[in-house]
Amino acid sequence: MPKPKLEISRKHFWWITVLLLAFLAGTNLAAYCFGLSKGGSSAPPGGEYDLTLPESLESEWEIFIEVIERLRESYLYPLDLSELVRGAVRGAVEAVGDPRTVFYDTQELTNFLIQKEGSFCGIGVRIVEIDEEIVVMETIPGSPAAAAGISPGDRIYRAGTQELSGLGLTRAAEILRGEKGSSVALSIRRPGRKEEQHLTLVRDEIIIDTVFSRMEKPGLGYISISNFDRKTGASFAEQLRLLENAGLHKGLILDLRDNPGGLVDEAIKVAGLIVPEGEIARLVGRDGEVREIYHSSAPGKNYPIVVLVNEETASAAEILAGALQDRGAALLVGAKTYGKATVQQPENLPGGNALLLTVARYLTPAEKDIDGTGLEPDISVETPLFLKYYRYFLPLRLAQGDYGPGVQMLQEMLAELGYKPGEEGYFDEATAAALSEFQAAAGLEASGVFDDLTWLQFRQVFEKLSRERDPQLRRAVELIEQPSMQLEPGRKVN
């Protein structure tokens, strides 16, 4: 059969041009062609775009156009051409094979920027979707939600006139956010109560604190960093100053566990305060060229530093931990880190979209490339599974006959508290009996059914246990309290 001839008529030219631009948007050519990246111009030299397709891609391009044309003209149901274009863009980006290079539409970009900026306008809750219902997992301190008494376990059924059930997590979050000063009426149901409660909240700017500090013991400071956003460097500097003014002299515990990274520049600001004078990290391009070397000019601290890391310590957090380890300024305690040593740069695209593009990789001061391998701790200390995952245990309704990961997690938590649940992963009579014992001891109805009230009680118990039984933190305190503690690059301490 002869090969079908591809005819590009005038009426089709407009959408074929759009699809070509969409294809380019998913490649490294996009930033150049559109001129929308940082420092980019509106057009290349000469003022015209070169859209010439390489000969080696002509057959693939014919197939691409042919598929789109046949979908548009012959598919049973009407198709949205813009959705086809976006699908083409996403497909091109996914074909790169790098999960960190991502296309964001306008709403996804908004969520990404909230994470990076560390603030947004809304009521101040972190929510999850369970059985199509919107459930509060956490309220942000100082937010309108916290002031109104909204707490974990509350189920938000309505915002204004909009029913939230069944809308999905993304849409529910959009509805709860809004302009500063605008009000929203909420209908919620509290654990243990059948009737709905009605509250009206005024939206405000929500500041997400990424740095938390305390004096663990007299003279021994503790600072945790949950993420690196645009306020992290300044917040760390201020909290470290306050601790030092309050008498920090024995040592500092820097907790980077579960820190997924964030803005590299903010991690460099933190490193510039505690890494001794010299190199922090270097960025290397795809041809191996050194694009930038970050330096610290700090004199170094006269007290020991221990950094807590685990499997979820990644990216910018690894830059900081790797610099401290390689420069002999700290010991790493915990588990091997995630191993993400690439840097992503957002590239602006038309229509409020963006491409998060991997543009470089970084090396530690000892020129270690840890992408895919992670940092090895100086002292390995495992954390019990229940301490790792209790924060992710959702307020599901579980009863006899249920099975699966949720039941298994419940059983592991009961066992950790000294109860004797039954068959692993299956909610049997023994599990119901163990749960009833826990409920009775907590002053709850001994129903043997896991409900929202029981979830709240578990959460409170394990929050307390996580502080009391944190083996990595306890090991860090022990190390700092050793007067002979020496900090040397790569040294292993038993």
d(CA 254, CA 376): 16
Q: Name which of 440, 384, 433 is nearest 413 in CA terms.
A: 384
Query: Quick one: three-class SS letters along the chain?
Result: CCCCCCCCCHHHHHHHHHHHHHHHHCCCCHHHHHCCCCCCCCCCCCCCCCCCCCHHHHHHHHHHHHHHHHHHHHCCCCCCHHHHHHHHHHHHHHHCCCCCCEEECHHHHHHHHHHHHCEEEECCEEEEEECCEEEEEEECCCCHHHHCCCCCCCEEEEECCEECCCCCHHHHHHHHCCCCCCEEEEEEECCCCCCCEEEEEECEEEECCCEEEEEEECCEEEEEECCECCCHHHHHHHHHHHHHHCCCCCEEEEECCCCCCECHHHHHHHHHHHCECEEEEEEECCCCCEEEEEEECECCCCCCEEEEECCCCCCHHHHHHHHHHHCCCCEEEECCCCCCCEEEEEEEEHHHEEEEEEEEEEECCCCCCCCCCCCCCCEECCCCHHHHHHHHCCCCCECCCCECHHHHHHHHHHHHCCCCCCCCCECCHHHHHHHHHHHHHCCCCCCCCECHHHHHHHHHHHHHHHHHCCHHHHHHHHHHCCCCCCCCCCCCCC
Instruction: Find the catalytic residue in 235, 255, 340, 470.
Output: 340
Q: Name which of 83, 91, 106 is nearest 26 in CA terms.
A: 91
Q: Are strands 162-163 and 125-130 parallel, antiparallel or unpaired?
A: unpaired
C-beta of residue 52 within 8 angstroms of C-beta of residue 369: no
Q: Name which of 183, 174, 176 is nearest 157 in CA terms.
A: 176
- Establish whether 340 is a catalytic residue: yes
Instruction: Find the catalytic residue in 204, 258, 326, 402.
Output: 326
Instruction: Find the catalytic residue in 315, 378, 402, 452.
Output: 315
Q: Return the SS3 of 429.
A: helix
Q: Return the SS3 of 180.
A: coil
d(CA 278, CA 280): 7
- Establish whether 326 is a catalytic residue: yes
d(CA 135, CA 153): 6
Please identify every residue annotated as catalytic: 315, 326, 340
